Structure 1
Amino acid sequence: MKRINKRLVSAMACASVLATVSAISEQVLITRPKQVKAASAINNYILNNKLQYGGLQVLPSTFTEDFPYRYGKPEGIVIHETATPGATAANEATYFRREWMNMDAYVHAFVDKTGVIQIHPTNRGVWGAGAVANQRFIQIELAEESNTSDFARSVNNDAIYVASLLKQYGLTPSLADGTGSGTIWSHNAVSQYLGGTNHTDPTGYFSKWGYSMSQFFDLVKYYYYGSAQATTTEKAGTTTDAGNAAIKVVYTSAIAEWKNPGSGVVGYL
């Protein structure tokens, strides 16, 4: 869990906006299945039992300090775990949306055995893993489960969501753990190669279940290259002029409001 992150951008005051913008849903569809190669009892359980995606729920963000990525779009995804046994994705989402100003932390989504809850648009940065990573990567938290079956369901949801996001942003799966370069990072790899943080998740939590980032990466590749399960309703839009301010469609259930497109978000309509 990340509780200390440096503020990158200050929120800016903005005149009220009168506009109606329609968001468009988008599905990310992936082709036929291939084998998962890495030896993994968890991955085998997922495939043998044909576990299905729990789905994506998008909640309006409360985080008003977001910022653009350094190259305008995410370069990859950081995988975290919450380090709060017994807390569901819904519990964590509620807590972060209420307490982020006291924690100096915010992430894009939480995942558990039931599905994914996204709490911030992935095309804007958040405070998830230190100043360097925050300007580059989407941040996803995996809730801690209490048994093997639920753990398998949670990592299955996580892998499908990650594969969807990679597709959405035109990124190819590659693992940064062990190399320091790639589109899929553990928080541990961020600490090791990029700095600005000292967390080691989800390595310890994965090892509790005999799992590893390499095996998770293999599962992501399976969905990225092989399965049609992965879908997302998020759809990035275009900035439109609305008098004294600018608004932008960021996903299907909310509209972000900026004074200028490159500035901090004032709020979500």
Structure 2
Amino acid sequence: MEVGQIITLLSGAGIGAVLSAVLLFINNTKKNKLDFITKERSEWRKEIKSIIVDLLSGKNRFFAINRLETQLNPYGRYISKEDTYEFYMNDGHIWRLVDNFDYSTKSVNVLTKYLELLLKYDWERSKREIKLDIFNSFIYFILIITSLSNSLLILFKITDLTQGIVLALSSFFMIASVFYFRSFTKNFKKMPIFEGIYIGFLCLSMYYGIDGMLYWLILPETKDLRSLFATLLILALILSTELKIIIDTNIEEKKYILCLKEILIKEHTHV
């Protein structure tokens, strides 16, 4: 084995070890935070259930409303634009009812329905956060591996300055995407033009990264249409995964808001 190949393998192993240590640290930190949040949510759900019981039983309703105000998202109280995603997701609909609560049977029934839906949504969200997200994990894996491959190519293989700059820029973009991708999927429909441009650059960066990995596996002089086809096939798989993530993003939130709107429609119908 040549000295250059040995250096390449050692460098790859060293960077891989550091990368594994970083990912392990991030995973452990995330797990600890998730455990803490899960415990806090469990206590919150118990309190909301207790409030529902008090409202339906007719006992301590005034005290139950006071307790409820301490459990709601305070931002929702000050969102003036109603019937929006932010309004519903920050408990704006509940604040609107609580601030004008008249303790009538109708108001109690509507409020308990809101709280039951809130509990259901929070439970589904908790299950989603605990469950391993295979599609997101796959994208993050590709982003990290292709960035690592590009770095090794620049260090040991690439001699052309232009090609090196392109690989460096694509690596920088993919590393930034590791931190931005989750936010991107949540906000895709709010800024479709900007996010569409982003996903175009991301796919282009991944294309260069995948092509770079094939550079390690296939000698440059033997690369032909088959290697191009393999690159495009992998890229198509990544793109379909990204689209799957975008389509499924906020799906529980959409169901939750739809149910809330149905309650509002019934409420206004029976006025």
TM-score using structure 2 length: 0.23
**Structure index of larger Rg:** 2
Query: Normalization by structure 1: what TM-score?
Result: 0.23
| Greater fraction of residues in helix | 2
- Greater relative CO, 1 or 2 (CA 8 Å, sep 6+): 1
Higher strand residue share: 1
